[in-house]
Homo-oligomer: A and B are copies of this chain.
Amino acid sequence: MQIEYLDAIDIIKNSDDIYIITHQSPDGDTIGAGFSLYYMLKAIGKRAKVICPDDFPERYEYMYEDYVEEDFNPKRIFAVDVADEKLLGDLAELYGDKVDLCIDHHVSNTGYAKYTLLCSYASATCEVMYELITRMGLKITENMAKCIYTGIATDTGCFKYENTSARAHEIAAALMNEHKLKYSALNRILFDIKSEGRIKLEAELMRTMETYLDNRCTLVCITKEFLDTIDIEGSELEGVTAVAMQVEGVEVGVTMKEREPNVYKVSMRSANDVNVSEICKSLGGGGHVKAAGCLIKAPLEEAKRLIIDAVAKGMEKAT
């Protein structure tokens, strides 16, 4: 059942001993929302614990420096930034049908929770957390500010993507006016710093990038052979599709990742009007209009030909 801010505040005030669940492969927004909710619950005298099916990436640890993990059995389960119970991963079986309150901004939220505070116009779940905490009449503490800034900044690509709203900027301004944090140092951690493996991978992708269809389509391929030569974590492969999108005039960027011999996971991004969801559907996959994917089982050159043919057809439709 979808609820409004005031209902959510009632539920929160009437809950005790709360587990806060973040989604699997946790990002800045789910972690930021989880811990800003934790700090808020502590501020009103509740016992709370943040749990996640996966480990948190190390670069986000500044958000939970003041987190104290307590042992208790939960009376209430809250979920943050979790659009679908499947995204609870290993925790889905245990808690998937027991979520009392879900706070989210994904329009695709399946409504699996008993109550859902869903603000689909918000740039990030952390934007919802800001509105919630301030509507409760609570002061945004420094820890909350760190978390909320992180969620909004990471989900908007540092205020760069289409979901960046005026409200996202207003909240950033309010946080900065209230707390003298080292925002630029956070941004450096969140957006600039890369591991040596990631740098080597990007260099290799830039070097071997192919262009097709009058340079309107770029294609990069991450081979198992190359991955074996570098030291890189799985989570560091995320966002690598951006490499194929930085070429002037590109309409569709394709990233192929070799899963096993002759099996490729394909990610597609569209810069403007080409519908990559449809293109990927024609290849047996799916996704969003501007970001989609599919799996192709074929030798490399044949796989490329299949992809480029499908992209060419998709481009014709867009013109």
Interface residues of A (CB under 8 A from B): 158-162, 164-167, 169-170, 172-174, 176-177, 183-185, 187-188, 191-196, 199-200, 202-204, 206-207, 209, 242, 245-248, 271-272
Q: Which residues of B contact A271 (CB under 8 A)?
A: 188
Copies in the complex: 2
Q: Which residues of B contact A202 (CB under 8 A)?
A: 203, 206
A207 to B205, CA, bound (A): 11
Q: Cβ of B167 and Cβ of A173 under 8 Å apart?
A: yes
29 residue pairs A–B, Cβ–Cβ below 8 Å: A158-B158, A159-B169, A160-B184, A160-B187, A160-B192, A162-B184, A164-B183, A166-B174, A166-B177, A167-B173, A169-B169, A169-B170, A169-B172, A169-B173, A169-B176, A170-B173, A173-B173, A192-B245, A193-B247, A193-B248, A194-B246, A194-B247, A195-B248, A196-B248, A199-B209, A199-B246, A202-B206, A203-B204, A203-B207
Residue from B158, B196, B203 in contact with A160 in the complex, judged by beta carbons closer than 8 Å:
B158
For A196, give the chain B residue with the smallest CB separation: B247
Q: Cβ of B209 and Cβ of A246 under 8 Å apart?
A: no
CB distance from A131 to the nearest CB of B (A): 15
For A250, give the chain B residue with the smallest CB separation: B193
Q: Which residues of B contact A200 (CB under 8 A)?
A: 206-207
For A183, give the chain B residue with the smallest CB separation: B164
Q: Cβ of A192 and Cβ of B158 under 8 Å apart?
A: no
A112 to B173, CA, bound (A): 34
Q: Which residues of B contact A248 (CB under 8 A)?
A: 193-196
A176 to B167, CA, bound (A): 9
Which 6 interchain pairs have the tightest Cβ spacing? A203-B206, A166-B176, A169-B173, A162-B184, A166-B173, A169-B172
For A186, give the chain B residue with the smallest CB separation: B160
Residue from B172, B192, B204 in contact with A159 in the complex, judged by beta carbons closer than 8 Å:
B172
CB distance from A227 to the nearest CB of B (A): 16
Q: Which residues of B contact A246 (CB under 8 A)?
A: 192-194, 199
CB distance from A66 to the nearest CB of B (A): 22
Q: Cβ of A165 and Cβ of B158 under 8 Å apart?
A: no
Q: Which residues of B contact A272 (CB under 8 A)?
A: 185
Q: Which residues of B contact A165 (CB under 8 A)?
A: 176
A242 to B188, CA, bound (A): 11
Q: Which residues of B contact A170 (CB under 8 A)?
A: 169-170, 173
Q: Which residues of B contact A247 (CB under 8 A)?
A: 193-194, 196, 199
Q: Which residues of B contact A192 (CB under 8 A)?
A: 160, 242, 245-246
A248 to B232, CA, bound (A): 13
CB distance from A255 to the nearest CB of B (A): 15
